Amino acid sequence: MRDLAQKWTPMPDWHEAVIEVPGLTVRTRIGLNQYLVSGDLDAWSSVSGLPAHGAGAFGKAEGERYSVQAARDRLLVVSTPQLDMENGWHEQGFGVTAISAGLHVFEAEGPAVADLIARATPLDPRAASASAAMSFGGVSAVVYHHEAALRIHVDRSLATYLWTWMETAAAAIEATGKDR
């Protein structure tokens, strides 16, 4: 029987994998708890203490607990500690779903992040957008800034593809030889 797995790109060891070229470093961000919150976001805000509206595309999020706008009535909530809230529908009118196992998180840092963004999406990173959900490197992702890094949340099944895409983009950025 043929080994069909040979045609797939091997998955990197995410704990060790790093893309590094002058001005750009990309690695996996491990240890984040991720939740989708849907429904009445004002009710969610009053219960959780987090804002009802999160950071939009290329927006700025800070701290160890924050939210990012994924759709009109949906937030991606990211937290280093686990949230003290049950999964499921809440009588206040919102639902919470833990999705840490479903999303992979990349962080990109350095002055060439702007070049990576320019290759990944036609969106203007200086223009405000309510939602951080976008096409990035050919896949659907949630993209925003967290402190000094660009964070990219992507379906775990697409992480190896996006990693390979970012390796190619980083090589092209390095080949341009821009002074940083």
Provide the CATH topology of domain 20-175: Gyrase A; domain 2 (3.30.1360)
**How big is the CA angle at 127 (ends 63 and 110), to the nearest 5 degrees?**
55
Q: What is the pLDDT of residue 43?
A: 96
Structure tokens at 67: 């939210």
Q: What is the pLDDT of residue 5?
A: 65
**Nearest partner of 112 among 161, 172, 30, judged by Cα:** 172
Question: What does the pLDDT profile of the chain (180 residues) look like in tens digits?
Answer: 677 667 777 788 999 999 999 999 999 999 999 999 999 999 999 999 999 999 999 999 999 999 999 999 999 999 999 998 999 999 999 999 999 999 999 999 999 999 999 999 999 998 878 999 999 999 999 999 999 999 999 999 999 999 999 999 999 999 986 544
Q: How far apart are CA 14 and CA 66, in angstroms?
A: 24
Q: What is the pLDDT of residue 127?
A: 86
Question: For residue 25, what is the enclosing H or E element?
Answer: strand 24-28
Helix-strand-coil percent breakdown of the chain, rounded to 5?
A: 25, 35, 40
Q: What is the pLDDT of residue 40?
A: 96
Q: How far apart are CA 41 and CA 36, in angstroms?
A: 11
Cα Rg of the chain, angstroms: 17
Q: What is the pLDDT of residue 26?
A: 98
Q: What is the pLDDT of residue 179?
A: 45
What residues does 103 pair with on adjacent strands?
155
Q: What is the pLDDT of residue 176?
A: 86
- Domain range summary for the chain, segments of one domain joined by +: 20-175
pTM of the predicted structure, to 2 decimals? 0.92
